[in-house]
Amino acid sequence: MKRILCVVAALTLLACGERKLEPKAESENSKPDAKGHPEKYIEEANVVELSQEAQRRAGIQVAPLASGSVEARVILTGTVQPIDNHVAQVRALARGRITEVSVKVGDRVQKNQVLALFDNIEAGELASQYSSALAELERLKIQQANAQRQTDRSRDLLQVGAIPAKEAESAEAASRGAAQLVRSQDAVLAGLSARLKRFGVQGEGGVDASATSIRSPFAGVVIKSDVAPGAVVDSSTPLLSIADLSRVYVEAQVYEKDLGRIRVGQVTHVRFEAYPNESLPGRVVAIRDVLDVQTRTAGVRIELANPEGKLRLEMFATIELPTVGTHTALTVPSEAVQTINQRQVLFVKQDALHFAAREVKTAGEGLMREVISGAKEGEAVVVGGAYQLKSVFLSRQVQGEHDH
């Protein structure tokens, strides 16, 4: 009897222990796998489920990724640089002291905009000379007026025989001499005024004439500044560099093996990370004649327009140069490639109802794109209705964010 009671008690304790462990086991099963969850989450997030009827309405068409003949291209990377003869070094025209700098590197400036104020020693001296010359001109004009009155009186006296003709002629000569001195002094003043205007000072500037302005020669961007208030400079001292960026270069390096496929005047397509959906036309304007002995590359310059000023110096660019000839590569229609979060995407069919958004890299323009990486030959990709699939994908992403 005692043995039976012991067995029953043991079974009762075991059952109670199992019941106590059950919540723990359930809790462990409900806890997401720290290693597996992220992959599963990403996979689910990138997959769109679409019924057969919805696929029909969206015009979904699928085709295996296959090789085709595409135009041969050279792909380069480069950076935006200013055009050499569109860069101006701004200098002071004379010796003096900088009192104020109004701009900094990166500022956009307009033509004739004040860049700095300058205590121009030479302009101050010229203004003083101008004032003296102006006073001398007034004195000479008074002399000329007196000489002219004397000449008029001499003529009247000569007519009545009150003075000899020689005296009247002498008065006329003195009047002509006074007039010549006035004209000469006018020329001196004009010369001084022209020199002052070079410094942005009018002849009537007076005591403030030495405070002159240094102005921008054209509209552009300040790309360098070597000046600060208090600096004493002269005409040989570079102060600021202004670049006109309405047109720019993209400078890239071309490997020796590709040099024979590139020529000056060739049209290119240039893309920038900042504007992934845009392809800007450019033109090869220069190919350097000397190779870099370390990299075995030659520099190439592509010129392109920048009317809106979107392209900034040192921006990275990808350049596609179409070349003579074709090559075989994986191709898809351009409409199959969609842009999501600034990335190129193909939709790959997984089964009858599911499509995965796959990031890829492509090249080329026109009706067909070359698939460089991200997808394999034979994979079923959406070639029709990709935009509608993208819309569903984005709407479900937004819905998922709201659910979280």
Shared-domain flag, residues 180 and 271: no
Query: CA angle, corner 307, sides to 303 and 308, nearest 5?
Result: 125
> Pick the residue with more confidence: 397 or 12?
397
Query: Of 220, 242, 264, which one is at a domain's C-terminal end?
Result: 242
Q: Per the domain annotation, does 2 fall within a domain?
A: no
Shared-domain flag, residues 57 and 132: no
Say which residue the tokens 């819309």 belong to. Answer: 391
Shared-domain flag, residues 235 and 343: no
Q: What pLDDT is recorded for position 45?
A: 65
pLDDT category, 300, cuts 50, 70, 90?
very high
> Tell me, what CATH number does 272's domain have?
2.40.30.170
56-70, 128-142, 203-217, 370-384: which range is least confident on average? Answer: 203-217
If you average pLDDT over every residue of the chain, what do you get?
81
Shared-domain flag, residues 208 and 268: no
Percentage helix, strand, coil, to 5, in the chain?
Answer: 40, 35, 25
Across 8-12, 66-70, 185-189, the highest mean pLDDT is recorded for 185-189
SS3 390: helix
381-391 pLDDT, tens digit each? 999 999 988 88
pLDDT surpassing 50 at residue 30: no
27 to 24, 31, 53: CA distances (angstroms): 5, 6, 40
Shared-domain flag, residues 171 and 251: no
Structural domain boundaries, residue 134: 85-242
How large is the average pLDDT for residues 221-226?
93
> Pick the residue with more confidence: 197 or 205?
197
102 bridge partner residues: none
Percentage of residues in the chain with pLDDT exceeding 70?
Answer: 81
pLDDT category, 252, cuts 50, 70, 90?
very high
Strands 114-120 and 96-101, sheet pairing: antiparallel
* Residue 235 DSSP code: T
Q: Per the domain annotation, does 20 fall within a domain?
A: no
Element (H, E) at 266: none
Shared-domain flag, residues 256 and 315: yes
Percentage of residues in the chain with pLDDT exceeding 90?
Answer: 32
Q: Per the domain annotation, does 33 fall within a domain?
A: no
Tokens of 66: 């296959």
* Residue 164 DSSP code: -
Q: What pLDDT is recorded for position 28?
A: 38
Q: Per the domain annotation, does 7 fall within a domain?
A: no
Shared-domain flag, residues 221 and 355: no
Q: What pLDDT is recorded for position 27?
A: 38
> Pick the residue with more confidence: 363 or 223?
223
Q: CB count, 10 Å around CB of 336?
A: 26
Q: CB count, 10 Å around CB of 154?
A: 21
* Of 76, 73, 71, residue with least CA distance to 297: 76
Q: What pLDDT is recorded for position 314?
A: 92
HEC-encoded secondary structure of 69-82: EEEEEEEEEEEEEE
> Tell me, what CATH number does 153's domain have?
2.40.50.100
Helix count (H) and strand count (E) of the chain?
A: 6, 22
155-164, 235-244, 262-271: which range is least confident on average? Answer: 155-164
pLDDT surpassing 80 at residue 309: yes
How large is the average pLDDT for residues 355-369?
81
* Contact of 125 with 119, CB cutoff 8 Å: no
Q: Per the domain annotation, does 391 fall within a domain?
A: yes
Shared-domain flag, residues 251 and 399: yes
Shared-domain flag, residues 159 and 289: no
Number of domains into which the chain is organized? 2
pLDDT category, 325, cuts 50, 70, 90?
low
Q: What pLDDT is recorded for position 155?
A: 83
Shared-domain flag, residues 231 and 194: yes
Shared-domain flag, residues 289 and 267: yes
* Contact of 82 with 306, CB cutoff 8 Å: no
65-69, 112-116, 137-141: which range is least confident on average? Answer: 65-69
pLDDT surpassing 50 at residue 392: yes
Q: How far is CA 26 from the centre of its chain?
A: 59
Q: Per the domain annotation, does 9 fall within a domain?
A: no
Query: Of 212, 242, 272, which one is at a domain's C-terminal end?
Result: 242
Query: Of 193, 209, 242, which one is at a domain's C-terminal end?
Result: 242
Q: What pLDDT is recorded for position 301?
A: 95
Shared-domain flag, residues 231 and 338: no
pLDDT surpassing 80 at residue 147: yes
79-106 pLDDT, tens digit each? 999 999 999 999 988 888 899 999 999 9
Say which residue the tokens 């997808």 belong to. Answer: 375
d(CA 225, CA 23): 71
Q: Per the domain annotation, does 94 fall within a domain?
A: yes
Q: Per the domain annotation, does 203 fall within a domain?
A: yes
